[in-house]
Chain A
């Protein structure tokens, strides 16, 4: 049975790599054309109406969710996966508390952008501002990124000296601490009541906001996918830079990297900070789209879902983790009967993938190339988290 699965899986990976090889063999202009077509499809997706493909839409089933809304969630999960991939896939640090950064991102737009937040109320009082005043959305974006980067460094500074599995548990604790603080620090976050009226790009939700409203999710999706594309390019540049190579070196063998003059702690801290900023950005988008957040939205299960996206998709490979994120966000929405069992299936998927193909569904090509013997690699080599 297991052998059958293995050989089917080997054929699948063979097909994947041959598609990849053919793609890389194309001329530059053909690749550019292909990418442009792909991006165009991404932007067209919420309007999807091609006969024969409409069954893909989540609203094509009874009681299905708003299609554009689901796409938006997929997009921010992809953003999360890209960020977590920097930490887990590239630098090899298993972070189970990524939800903490996601929450900090969401709370930073809520705390500074919403007129209902205690922080804004306090600023209004201190500086005699009108009761409608709040920090602009664009500045909140800046605040979110700075806050999450700082918290990434604050968490990483004391804990990155720890060995892998200890680090995982400490970060899990960090995620819980953030959630419990959000729940208990009533004077700062409104506690379990949550914060409403979180602004979008056009300001607080109100009838005169025509584009980024609560009902139509299409503009939100387009906004999110734009962020995703920008971040994909940036992270890709980073991955192939000196920093990216240092991450891989640290991931493969920390001691050897240190001997070769790569200071592991510094690069691990960078990975943490950059990953945190991406998590914060996705949380930020999530918060402003929802217009309401409360601490229950940031539980540890979601954090484990994030890790599942990365390891199931194929840690270390941006295409793989994005695929993992889309699958894990989309499937439960499209197949509602299975939505009740989603956590069960995530758990099973994690176990099966780790036992059958520890590299994830789409293995990292770079690693396969580095280790030459690809056939043996695909079969034997464990993921490099």
Chain B
């Protein structure tokens, strides 16, 4: 137990945790949107994120991005990365819905069947990117994929630098970008769900699918919309991840997905603002915990938090609310 270390650098750890938790929160939105409307846990959402990181990787290697490009180019690469990752992740999420979930929904299958299908698909995606694609694209993308199932590094787009220091808390440019970008994305999504016509459809279906259908809301279209929205958010998270950590692997989704799911449950699954709160909270708890114990216990902390939350407050900190007052 390193209390001194934690207390001495409390601010620093909080900042680190916040920038980490922002990425969790973005991924958590995918779980929350799908759960809010369909009441099912999209287990394969972590693979949607993984596909996003690989899309960024392929884009950057195809563009021949070198480490530390000039500022103008860096911004261009980031914007392109965002577009490509969002498209790839959104497309993957949509395909997932089409292949795996729609046939089951037609049959009115119980939720656990969805879960098993999603687990199967998630294995398929992990293997596609770990085994099949490296073999297929090995000639086209020599450096990017490397050998099957290996960790692949990405070029550094922005050099990590300390922007300003408050007390003994240093805030780096990347941390700031990650945090601001994630919160901006979430604000945008929140506005979209709460203020636009499409968002009203989503809320209506979440609240009561039958009545919404009677009122002329196309349920299938709403379901496609939430999968795509969740995918876009995962794509944005993938870009931020690539920028901050600079590596990816076919199995990257598993632990990250579980953490994002924990974040979603923590904030109240089905609640968009809860996902933000849960993500940030989990990021902070994780960094604190890793400092208190040792960094190799980091992954256990998320699981323990998940179990404790589900035991004592299964509806999370803010409770469910995508459809608002659901009886």
Contacts and interface: CB of A to CB of B under 8 A. Distances in A.
Q: Do A and B bind each other?
A: yes
SS of A interface (majority): helix
A181 B254 CA distance: 18
A385 B113 contact: yes
B180 to A, nearest CB: 31
A358 B109 contact: yes
B297 A341 contact: no
A175 to B, nearest CB: 10
Contacts of B215: none
A382 B258 CA distance: 27
B110 A382 contact: yes
A344 B128 CA distance: 7
Interface residues of A, number: 44
Given A341-B127, A344-B131, A170 B121 contact: no
B241 interface: no
A177 B303 CA distance: 7
A177 B100 CA distance: 29
Contact of A165 (B40, B117, B300): B40
A350 B119 contact: yes
B311 to A, nearest CB: 5
Interface string A342-367: 01101111110011001000000000
A9 interface: no
B306 interface: yes
A173 interface: yes
A292 B159 CA distance: 45
A87 interface: no
Contact of B258 (A166, A172, A304, A308): A172
A16 interface: no
Contacts of A383: 113
Given A169-B306, A358-B109, A347 B120 contact: yes
Interface string A299-314: 0110010011001000
B168 interface: no
Contacts of B291: none
Contacts of B155: none
Nearest to A183: B296
A159 B113 contact: no
A181 B123 contact: no
Nearest to A157: B311
Interface string A272-309: 00000000000000000000000000001100100110
A39 to B, nearest CB: 33
A352 to B, nearest CB: 8
Interface string B243-283: 00000000000110010010001000000000000000000
A165 B22 CA distance: 25
B310 A180 contact: no
B299 A176 contact: yes
B112 A347 contact: no
Contacts of A3: none
A296 to B, nearest CB: 13
B306 A354 contact: no
A261 interface: no
B142 interface: no
Contacts of B116: 94, 307, 311, 350, 354, 385
A266 to B, nearest CB: 19
A349 B116 CA distance: 11
A168 B113 CA distance: 12
Given A158-B311, A159-B310, A351 B300 contact: no
A184 interface: yes
A216 interface: no
A177 B131 contact: no
B103 interface: yes
B140 interface: no
A168 B115 contact: yes
A380 interface: yes
A340 interface: yes
B163 interface: no
A14 interface: no
18 contacts: A158-B307, A165-B41, A168-B41, A172-B258, A173-B258, A174-B303, A176-B258, A183-B296, A184-B300, A308-B120, A347-B121, A347-B125, A350-B119, A351-B117, A351-B124, A355-B104, A358-B107, A358-B113
Q: State the 4 A-B residue pairs at the shortest beta-carbon distance, nearest first.
A: A350-B120, A347-B123, A173-B303, A347-B124
Interface of A: 94, 96, 158-159, 161-162, 164-166, 168-170, 172-174, 176-177, 180-181, 183-184, 300-301, 304, 307-308, 311, 340-341, 343-344, 346-351, 354-355, 358, 380, 382-383, 385
Interface of B: 40-41, 43, 99-100, 103-104, 107, 109-113, 115-117, 119-128, 131-132, 254-255, 258, 261, 265, 294, 296-297, 299-300, 302-304, 306-307, 310-311, 314
Given A165-B112, A354-B109, 12 more contacts: A159-B311, A166-B310, A169-B41, A307-B116, A347-B122, A349-B120, A351-B100, A351-B117, A355-B104, A358-B109, A380-B107, A383-B113
